[in-house]
Structure 1
Amino acid sequence: MTSYDLSHPIESGMQTYPGDPPVRVEPHADFTTEGYRVSALSMGTHAGTHVDAPSHTQSEGATLGAYPIETFRFDARLADVRLGARAPITVADLPGEPDADLLVLHTGWDRHWGTDRYRDHPFLTRAAAAWCADHGFHVATDALSVDPTPSPNSRPEEPDGFAAHDALLGAGRLVYENLTGLDRLPSRFTLHAYPLAVDADGAPVRAVAVIDD
């Protein structure tokens, strides 16, 4: 078996969704004064590579603690949706057969991580998100969000709010965002993406793809 880490490293100043808390990883104790090291970590629940629980956008939605641990191990299918900036991902762009637990959207936008361009990623239409939910897919993406992210390049015809999130999370599906390195993967693989043990609206994950050689 071969394993691939699909997670962005957590580090101070890393890119976050506009308005989310900044990420800080700072020394708290060091060898000079205390004789050991401890770092202080401050971040939001949706920083870096992370999973969204339904309570992220649904007032009565489940938190991560409602899901058994085995939920976060997926039979994953990769969907090649490498489209242009701020392009809508429609039902026609998705695979026709729902033969996996998780649909992983390969937008290629992780190459823009850490830049303003990263906010101009392709996004799921509400209809495409609803199709995923109706066919039993959880969804992951290598972009900042499954919905359009506000930026100076936003267009008037783009949907407002969190239509794709609502369609998926409202159906009890999970959403993973900010994966990276999907270009190394075959069309089918197993994804292990376990959140921190926090009963919240989301949490950072270490996302690891496992491929049978």
Structure 2
Amino acid sequence: MCDACLIESVKKSMLSRRALFTGAAATTAAVMASGLTTARPALAQSTGKVVDLTHAYDGAFPTFDGNPGILYEPAVKFADSGYQLWKLTIFEHTGTHIDAPLHFTKDGTSVADLPPDRLVCPLCIIDIKAKAAEEPNAMVEPEDIEAFVTANGAIPAGACVAMNSGWAAKVGDPSYRNDAEGKFAFPGFSKAATDMLAGMDVACIGVDTLSLDPGNSADFAVHFSWLPGGRFGIENLAGLDGLPAAGATVFVGAPKHKGGTGGPARVMAVV
């Protein structure tokens, strides 16, 4: 083939490809405009800021039952072998961790089977620090959700709604778990609030305390209603003060052990 013929052939090929891409882009735009694409939660347009929402924990980290949540045993010592590793005994619901549906149901979804697209969520943070300072067993109520929506817009389907009660700052102090009389005392969600969030198709709720229910709960109403619905929770969150009320995306690093009712998780937010 002559040089001129080759050049002409390349031009035609480029023009043909350009027309193909232009047509594809137009088709995609038309489909999006017609609403035929699958709805996905609106994730944050990241500025590159990453916030760790996970407490580092060891056997001294507060737990619901008061027993150490993680135990270390040397399995290989550096002095003996030139490398080292621990044998760990970990209890699922300790540290910053997930409550999977299986935690409060006989045959619900295990932590290993949580859908991946429910582990990357728009993050909405409801601040109740003022009333938690007055009442240790304060709860996120429907009116707090309504106030959030008024100030920040609708809570998107698939979101993670986290309570910021200021309790994360108490880790290491007995008041994180108990009041002066030794009774459980910490904020949580009310069932009325979580029923409202379930109707919004929220994927998960999170708390900066030991439990989704407040410390003085006698019936675990939130656990028994929220988790059996196929949703999950995150307990003992950290770092919520470093994020806006809305606009961040949370990445939930769920453990994946088969049949797990939950487990320690690395939770990160990007904004």
Same fold at TM > 0.5: yes
Q: 2: CA distance between counterparts of 1:104 and 1:191?
A: 10
Structure 2: state its 5+ residue gaps.
1-47, 178-184
**Residue 77 of structure 1: aligned partner:** 124
**2:109 partner SS:** coil
Partner of 1:135: 200
Task: Say if 2:124 is the partner of 1:124.
Answer: no
Identify, as 1 or 2, the structure richer in strand: 1
Q: Quick check: 1:133–1:167 contact (8 Å CA) kept in 2? A: no
| Aligned-partner residue type, residue 137 of structure 2 | R
**Are positions 1:5 and 2:52 aligned together?**
yes
Q: Which residue of 2 aligns with 1:175?
A: 233
Amino acid at match of 1:129: T
The answer to whether the aligner puts 1:36 opposite 2:83 as a matched pair is: yes
Post-superposition CA distance 1:115-174 (Å, at most 9, x none): 22112221211111211112111201111111123xxxx4xxxx4121011221121111
1:13 positional shift: 2.4
Q: Structure 2 residue aligned with 1:90, among 128, 131, 141? A: 141
Write 1 or 2 for the structure with the bigger share of helix.
2
- Letter matched to residue 50 of structure 1: H
SS at match of 1:33: helix
Of 93, 96, 105, 1:49 maps to 96
Give the aligned residue type for 2:269: A
2:71 maps to 24
TM-score w.r.t. the length of structure 2 is: 0.70
For structure 1, list consecutive stretches of 5 or more residues without a partner in the other structure: none
Q: Distance in 2 between matches of 1:21 and 1:130?
A: 33
Please list, as runs of the form range in 1=range in 2, the aligned pairs for 1:163-202 lying within 5 A after superposition.
163-187=221-245, 188-199=247-258, 200-202=260-262
**Helix, strand or coil: the match of 2:169?**
helix
Secondary structure of the residue aligned to 1:32 is helix
CA distance in 2, matches of 1:109, 1:19: 17
Alignment of 1:145-156 (within 5 A): 145-149=211-215, 154=216
Q: Is the 8 A contact 1:78 1:105 kept in 2?
A: yes
Cα distance in 1, alignment partners of residues 211 and 221 from structure 2: 11
Bigger radius of gyration among the two: 2
Are the counterparts in 1 of residues 176 and 186 from structure 2 also a CA contact under 8 Å?
yes
- Distance of 1:122 and 1:202 partners within structure 2: 21
- Residue of structure 1 in register with 2:111 after alignment: 64
| Residue aligning to 1:160 | 218
* CA distance in structure 1 between the partners assigned to 2:82 and 2:219 by the alignment: 49
| 1:209 Cα deviation from its structure 2 partner | 0.7
TM-score, normalising length: structure 1: 0.88
